[in-house]
Amino acid sequence: MCFSFLLSGALLLIGLKISPKAIDFEKLSAYECGFTPIGDARQPFHVRFYLVGLLFLLFDLEVIFLFPWALTVTHVMFSVSALVGLCFFLFLLLVGFVYEWKKGALDWD
């Protein structure tokens, strides 16, 4: 174990010693598709951008909860409680989606 620490430290020091030290202004410049940047990079985004992103994460996580049920559907196919639980979960997911749609949270206007 000491050998691995010594070897990694030695390789790090060798890399620091033999690496080029000249400053390359082209590499230090901001890169934006080959064009010089226009304006400030810290422009505030509209709240709708964050809202749509948050809603996407919310509904994506809810759909991920369906994945284990889909894998075990053959084992719980005849279980009434599993089917009722899934239908209730899908109903809540649908109610949330319709609510967000009616509120206009998914519109970009």
Q: Is the pLDDT of residue 10 over 90?
A: yes
Average pLDDT over every residue of 50-75: 81
CA atoms within 13 A on the CB side of 92: 11
Write down the domain spans for the chain: 2-103
CA distance 83 to 46: 41
Q: State the pLDDT confidence band at 14, using cuts at 50, 70 and 90.
A: very high
User: Cβ distance 58 to 41 under 8 Å?
Assistant: no
- Which CATH code of 3.10.129.10, 1.20.58.1610, 3.40.50.720, 3.40.50.1110 fits the domain covering 2-103? 1.20.58.1610
